[in-house]
Amino acid sequence: MIVALHYEDGPIRELIHELKYGKITELAEILAPWLAATWERDGVACDSFVAIPLHGKRAAERGFNQAELLALGACRKLDLLYRSVLVRTRATESQTGLMRPARQANMYRAFRTKRAVVGLTCIVVDDVATTGATLEEAARALKDAGARRVWGLVVARG
């Protein structure tokens, strides 16, 4: 997993919170360049970026997927392809407050792919990673669909 910033830094936590819950989607355009710069510095050659998807109900409530906005913004900066290939198969409870075993159980088989990604190197983008359980399950779904390599890229680590 490659991390752009630290969540404990007050301003980063506030920016991510306002993006997700304050619905200030323009903040993705501030955070995405950090992702792009971090990937340019620390990343590997890849075929595409893939965002962690929201469940349909959560996406309808929020009106946008923050991970997708971040991935799209980073792709524009890096001139890379974005693929919308992951689907959340079920609504999961919020990971906030859960310990690692509960997070892993909560995310178990929570994703599938819309199509094969045979031989591709995919970069899974999310806003925050704490234990990595969400990224691990997304990577499992991509590998099951034939991805050669999967990396995680997050704005911050909690």
End-to-end, the C-alpha distance of the chain in Å comes to: 13
Number of C-beta neighbours around residue 98 at 10 A: 17
CATH architecture of 2-157: 3-Layer(aba) Sandwich (3.40)
Confidence of residue 113 (pLDDT cuts 50, 70, 90): very high
Residue of 91, 93, 158 lying closest to 131 (CA atoms): 158
Instruction: Look at residue 152 and tell me whether its pLDDT is greater than 90.
Output: yes
Query: Locate tokens 């355009």: which residue?
Result: 29
pTM of the complete model = 0.92
Instruction: Look at residue 9 and tell me whether its pLDDT is greater than 70.
Output: no
- The average confidence (pLDDT) of the chain is 91
Confidence of residue 75 (pLDDT cuts 50, 70, 90): very high
List pLDDT tens digits, range 118-143. 999 999 999 998 888 899 999 999 99
